[in-house]
Amino acid sequence: MTNKLLVICGQTGTGKTSLAIHLAKKFDGELVSADSRQVYKGLDIGTGKDLKEIEKSKIKIWGYDLVDPKKNFSVGNYIRFAQKATLDIQKNGKLPILVGGTGLFIKAVVDGIPTAFVPRNLKLRNNLEEKNVAELFEILAQLDPIKAGSMNISDKLNPRRLIRGIEIASWKLEGKTPRLFKKPKYQLLEIGLQASLENLSKKIEKRVDRRIGDGVEAEIKKLISSGISWDSQSMTSLGYRQWRNYFEGRVAKKEVIDDWKKEELRYAKRQLTWFKKDARINWFDSQDENLYKSVEELVKKWYP
């Protein structure tokens, strides 16, 4: 049984899934989606699930439709899912291909997150909700001075991070025995896809238009009428939250679309900021004519 894991990451709209499918065929692999939004059932068009392409290819993809869109989903949930999925694939003698644009999810699988087993504490979070960042920091500094001291300026002012920090610190103080953290042991090959800003913005524009043509509006209408709140985590997704003002009669559809395209491009930039820090990634230009061939060669050397 192999312990190899092929990772395909990079910016949105660079054709990661298509490349992954291609490689899956060549190397007898299965895909594991590393996408924080495609885990939701019913969020199909807007999150860009490539259902048709996948069906046609007969390649199996794991990681779509894991939860109800009313539920929250976290990296912790993802780790559990992804570890099992990759293991199952490997046991079947196939190559797992982790493909997606959610940097934290990929990191979680590839490097692990030691504190990921600490569950969220809703009561605590509710109590802390009203506090300002200075107060939150003070609390954290009392509970775990080392953690507090190690935070950078940005994170010290980030309520979400501070609250999570407090959550972990108080969990430890409760004297529960932490699960032993085992760093994942994969033999990795990471492929990154990127595109020029100009190219990316064209692609994003086209893709958003296509999704609108495919009926995102109806998809969202259905989700809302089935009782999913605009405030739920799933609906904070790009291409979903933008519609709220439209459905509630505050803006025109054109504004929604423009906003969506703009946000999508900004997201792509943020993704690059994240992925560029991982030195293991072998970068390719998504426009490169010989992209598939070059990637194939690289994979072949690593997975003969």
Partner RNA sequence: GCUGGGGUGGCGGAGUGGACAAUCGCAUUUCUCUGUAAAAGAAAUGUCCGAAAGGGCUACAUAGGUUCGAAUCCUGUCCCCAGCA
Binding mask 160-179 for RNA (x = CB under 7 A): xx-xx---x-----------
User: Which window, 24-32, 63-71, 82-90, 233-241, contacts RNA (CB under 7 A)?
Assistant: 233-241
Cβ closer to RNA: 238 or 298? 238
Distance CA 164, CA 78 (A): 17
Nearest distance from residue 93's CB to RNA, in Å?
Answer: 30
Binding mask 121-150 for RNA (x = CB under 7 A): ----x-------------------------
Residue 10 engages RNA in binding (rule: CB under 7 A) = no
Give the closest residue to 300 by CA, choosing from 85, 6, 94, 1.
6
Residue 293 engages RNA in binding (rule: CB under 7 A) = no
Q: Which of 27, 64, 81, 105 binds RNA (CB under 7 A)?
A: 105
Residue 15 engages RNA in binding (rule: CB under 7 A) = no
Neighbours of 143 (CB within 10 A): 17
Residue 192 engages RNA in binding (rule: CB under 7 A) = no
Residue 42 engages RNA in binding (rule: CB under 7 A) = no
Residue 3 engages RNA in binding (rule: CB under 7 A) = no
Residue 152 engages RNA in binding (rule: CB under 7 A) = yes
Residue 117 engages RNA in binding (rule: CB under 7 A) = yes
Cβ closer to RNA: 4 or 261? 261
Report the residue count for the chain: 304
**Residue 185 token pair:** 């042991």
**Residue 39 token pair:** 């885990």
C-alpha separations of 133 from 18, 65, 139, 157 in Å = 43, 35, 10, 6
Q: What are phi and psi of 122, to 5 degrees?
A: -65, -35
Neighbours of 101 (CB within 10 A): 27
User: Which window, 29-37, 53-61, 219-227, 296-304, contacts RNA (CB under 7 A)?
Assistant: 29-37
Neighbours of 290 (CB within 10 A): 10
Instruction: Convert 171-201 to b/e letters by CB count within 10 Å (16 or more is b).
Output: bbeeeeeeeeeeebebebbbbbbbbeeeebb
Binding site for RNA (CB under 7 A): 35-38, 46-48, 72-77, 101-105, 112-120, 125, 152-155, 157-161, 163-164, 168, 233, 236-239, 262-263, 266-267, 269-271, 273-274, 277
